[in-house]
């Protein structure tokens, strides 16, 4: 008899818990739906406020969403805070790290941007976006040797990617590797005929 009572209690408790979870999920879905509508209408502060009733510090989705919305309203420090929470919750996910790069770039916090790209490449060494943009950072700092390695990795993965080819061409040119640069500029022109950047590079090689 005691066993039956215990079983009945467990069954009722499970039903109550399931109901509460369902209610919570329904409220979250409704809040996200309202937030998306507000965002589409350009009402970003309202989109943030739509989420606050269901915000949980241990919720990955809501934190990454808050990070994005605070970025849209140019509250970059708040954006970074929420993205960092999302990163701490799922450290092997790269989407939150890419998200965090946006407000960091807006603040011109380039060392922290680099740190995020390095972390992404530790998780996904072949990630083309991280390799390309890290290459751009090194190129702009005139560290052409490091930039060359990063751009080459992207071009090897995507031989028809115009942006990577033309950046690699300019990198080769700055390294004094004129024959390689010439070939790459011509490849860029095949992909994008009459491209001004490639034509400018070829003029410097004459």
Domains 20-125 and 126-206 share a fold: yes
Q: How far apart are CA 39 and CA 101, in angstroms?
A: 21
Domain 20-125 listed as CATH 1.10.1740.10: no
Residue 2 confidence (pLDDT): 54
Residue-wise pLDDT tens digits, 157-177: 999 999 999 999 999 999 999
- CATH of region 126-206, choose from 2.60.120.260, 1.20.120.530, 1.25.40.10, 3.90.1140.10: 1.25.40.10
For residues 113 and 118, what is the distance between their CA atoms, to the nearest angstrom?
Answer: 9
Domain extents in the chain: 20-125, 126-206
Give the span between the Cα atoms of 23 and 123, in whole angstroms. 36
| pLDDT at residue 3 in the model | 54
Q: Please give the model's pTM, rounded to 2 decimal places.
A: 0.83
Give the 3-state secondary structure of 115-167: HHHHHHHHHCCCCHHHHHHHHHHHHHCCCHHHHHHHHHHHHHHCCCCHHHHHH
Residues of the chain with pLDDT under 50: 4-5, 8-9, 11-14, 16-22
């Amino acid at each position: 008899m005691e066993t039956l009572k215990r079983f009945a209690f467990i069954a009722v408790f499970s039903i109550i818990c399931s109901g509460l979870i369902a209610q919570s999920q329904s409220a979250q879905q409704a809040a996200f739906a309202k937030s998306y509508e507000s965002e589409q209408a350009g009402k970003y502060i309202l989109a943030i406020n739509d989420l606050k009733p269901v915000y949980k510090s241990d919720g990955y989705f809501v934190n990454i969403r808050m990070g994005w919305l605070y970025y849209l309203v140019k509250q970059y420090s708040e954006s970074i805070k929420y993205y960092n929470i999302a990163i701490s919750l799922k450290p092997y996910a790269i989407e939150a790290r890419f998200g965090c790069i946006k407000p960091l770039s807006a603040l011109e916090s380039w060392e922290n941007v680099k740190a995020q790209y390095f972390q992404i490449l530790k998780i996904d060494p072949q990630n083309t976006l991280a390799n390309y943009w890290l290459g751009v950072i090194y190129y702009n700092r005139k560290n052409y040797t490091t930039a060359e390695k990063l751009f080459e990795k992207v071009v090897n993965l995507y031989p028809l990617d115009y942006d990577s080819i033309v950046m690699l061409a300019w990198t080769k040119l700055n390294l004094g590797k004129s024959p390689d640069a010439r070939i790459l500029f011509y490849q860029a022109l095949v992909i994008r005929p009459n491209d001004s950047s490639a034509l400018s590079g070829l003029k410097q090689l004459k």
